[in-house]
Amino acid sequence: MCGIAGFAGSLADGPDAAERLRRMCDAIRHRGPDDSGYHVAPGVAIGMRRLSIIDVAGGHQPMTNEDGTLHVVFNGEIYNYQALRARLLAGRHRLTTSSDTETLVHLYEDHGAGLARELRGMFGFAIWDDRRRRLLIARDRLGIKPLYYWPTRDGVAFASELRALVTLPEFPRALDPDAVVDYMAVGYVPEPRTIFAGVHKLPPGHLLEWTREGGVRIERYWSPSVAENTRITEQEAIEETRRLLDESVRIHLLSEVPLGAFLSGGIDSSGVVATMARMSDRAVRTFSIGFAEREFDESRHAAEVAGVLGTEHTQLVVRPDAELLFEQVARALDEPFGDPSAVPTFLVSYLARRDVTVALSGDGGDELFGGYTRYFELNGARSLPPLARSVLRNVALRLPHATYGRNRLLSLGRTMRGRYAGTVALPLREAEGGLLREDVAMRAVPFDETLDRWFTNDSARDFMTQLMIVDVQSYLPGDILTKVDRMSMAHSLEARVPLLDHEIAEFALSLPPSLKFRDGVGKWVLRRALGDRVPDEVFRRPKQGFDVPLRDWFRGPLAHRLDALADRSSAVYDFVEPRAVERVVQEHRVGRRDHARTIWRLVMFDQWSRLYSTGEFVRPVTITSDVDALLGRAIADGDLVRSN
């Protein structure tokens, strides 16, 4: 696991290219504290920071091919690299290390840009081809690992995090208003936008080629849109789910450093840990986090599962310093990010890193197997005729914001895609309960129209599956995987997600709806496949998100953050209407409505803007002594528990 960065073209032509590259890599030192490496030559500069996982002794990057004409920097893990390595050696390639990174340059020799299709894993990499004067960068199929790029008139720069790009003096520093609108809607900036105008995320399953003559060319090499398997039986689906899960977990266990797993007590993480336990000759190390507020505490469920599976379990129940955690999480993000579950993810990553360097996670099961309630709530529903939608919408807009049922009327006044958008996005226009200034809202593209680019054109697929495909391309990489990557990398911890092996993804998305949802229950096949592996209680408990007591925090230890929103000099007021902010703050304070998630987006954007304006944004993430003190107090109070 590493952080990578670099540039090609005119950006690399000056005498200070090496120093500029070093500054980029230093900004992401938290991603790779063990080692660094650079290749600087006329027209190109690529570098990396390394967290040593595989071939600890011999995996120094950049790596080259036999004649030194190809150079690669790589972030991630290639789980089928041993099979690829054997194939390359049989094909008379000469490899000098046992690192997965080295396979990339030799695969490039055989397959060119098509090498990405040969890989099974999570990755962001860059290959410089000295003979062709070509830079190739690629991102894994599901977007587990991040990759940003900035095209210039005659060059391109790339990095694992935006903070590395911002170190370049030429970097454009203007915010993208459309990105801010998207952030206010969904709490993250969806691909391919970033918070900065003219700077992009390379979407999952895509690669980028650059030459001076041709500039930037983007190509898609994988899509989650797969045909429905109408002939598979339930038993066949159960058996194949087990086989794929077993295979994926097995290859995800490859490591030369201590390894463990996050355990929440839910279906996905319990299934991953149970599968690990079947393959391990020693107790699996598991980690969970909880809060003193019982309604937000999953740690007791995780402890029950750990006891049944016989894991070596560590759990921490936090009585948090909310302000401290808020600031630490904000510093670990390179874009405004409005999902408050980043806080417990930050804490469980911190907890795990005390004992292990790699942790497996259960993320991805909801998107692939149909776990979100929004899927089956909308599946089978029908959009009302246009006239009826218009009438309901107009009636709703005339009602006061706090009127019971108003939001339901607004939802019925939308198309089916609009109703889905309403389940994942906050309203934008003030008339609908949103916060945007009217001049910003008039230029904004409604999020249901933004979603159109992710919907499959296969009209034969059911609406539920189409929603899952949308989430796999938007919410999964933009929110879930961004959160896990940034919070784990803040602690130099490698997080792996075996449920997001692309072979599992392709299989799961091919299943018909009857095998995803039945009798009011989602993840039907996954539940059946795990039925003899995890405790029955896991399946009986209602779904519980990885959440924090935001409502109470904003009425208590974070109340001063609401006061700060009254400062009209905040960058947030370039986009939102002051009276709308006053309304949601006041309604939340007096308990009329719970606007905690909306307020979190506002204060996170405000904090990110302040960090950016002061230059704190470009510094590598460091964990302050206050966080160590927080954990120390928990240990002293008996809130950190280890069990075997």
Integer Cα distance of 492 and 477 in angstroms? 20
Q: What is the mean pLDDT of residues 431-443?
A: 86
C-alpha–C-alpha distance, residues 489 and 509, integer Å: 29
CA atoms within 13 Å, Cβ hemisphere of 85: 14
Eight-class DSSP state of 158: E
In the block, tokens 């007021």 appear at: 573
Residue 186 has pLDDT above 60, yes or no: yes
Q: What pLDDT does 84 receive?
A: 95
| Closest-CA residue to 340 (of 145, 483, 543) | 483
Res. 51: pLDDT tops 90: no
Which tokens in the block code for residue 146?
């991040």
Task: Among 428-437, 455-464, 574-583, name the one with the lowest average pLDDT.
Answer: 455-464
Output 443 or 152, whichever has higher pLDDT: 152
Domain residue spans in the chain? 2-220, 224-369+463-644, 380-461
pLDDT band of residue 289 (cuts 50, 70, 90) is confident
- Provide the mean pLDDT of the chain: 88
Q: Which of 22-36, 123-137, 276-290, 450-464 has the lowest mean pLDDT?
A: 450-464
**For the residues 194-218, what does the mean pLDDT come to?**
97
40 contacts 71 by C-beta, under 8 angstroms: no
Topology at the third CATH level for domain 2-220: Glutamine Phosphoribosylpyrophosphate, subunit 1, domain 1 (3.60.20)
Contacts with 68 (C-beta within 8 Å, 6 or more apart), sequence order: 130
Q: With a cut of 90, say whether residue 407 has pLDDT above it.
A: no
The residue among 225 and 377 whose pLDDT is bigger is 225
Quick one: pLDDT band at residue 463, thresholds 50, 70, 90? confident
Q: pLDDT tens across 52-86, in order?
A: 666 565 668 899 999 999 999 999 999 999 999 99
Which pLDDT value is given to residue 126?
98
The more confidently predicted of residues 12 and 635 is 12
Cα atoms found within 13 Å of the Cα of residue 538, Cβ hemisphere only: 30
Q: How far apart are the C-alpha atoms of 486 and 329, rounded to whole Å?
A: 9
171-174 contact pairs (CB < 8 A, 24+): 171/196, 171/199, 172/196, 172/197, 172/198, 172/199, 174/198
pLDDT in tens, 336-368: 999 999 999 999 999 999 899 999 999 999 999
Residue 436 has pLDDT above 80, yes or no: yes
Nearest residue to 150 (alpha-carbon basis) of 26, 287, 10, 298: 10
- What is the structure's pLDDT at 644? 58
pLDDT at 54: 60
The pTM for the full model equals: 0.93
- At residue 454, the pLDDT reads 85
Q: Among 235-244, 353-362, 445-454, where is mean pLDDT lowest?
A: 445-454
Query: Where residue 135 falls among pLDDT bands split at 50, 70, 90?
Result: very high
Work out the average pLDDT over 444-449. Answer: 77
- pLDDT, tens only, 597-643: 999 999 999 999 999 888 888 888 888 777 777 777 766 666 666 76
For residue 168, the model assigns a pLDDT of 95
> How much is the pLDDT for 433?
81
DSSP assignment of 366-420: HHHHT--HHHHHHTT--PPPHHHHHHHHHHHHTS-TT-TTHHHHHHHTS-HHHHH
> Which residues are tagged catalytic?
2
For the cut 80, the answer to whether the pLDDT of residue 109 exceeds it is yes
Tell me: domain 224-369+463-644, CATH 3.40.50.620, correct?
yes
Q: Is the pLDDT of residue 573 over 80?
A: yes
**The pLDDT of residue 545 is above 70:** no
Task: Report how far residue 629's alpha carbon sits from residue 372's, in angstroms, rounded to the nearest whole number.
Answer: 37
pLDDT of residue 636: 66
pLDDT digits (tens, 9 = 90+) for 22-45: 999 999 999 988 888 999 999 999
The pLDDT value recorded for residue 63 is 92
Q: pLDDT category, 242, cuts 50, 70, 90?
A: very high
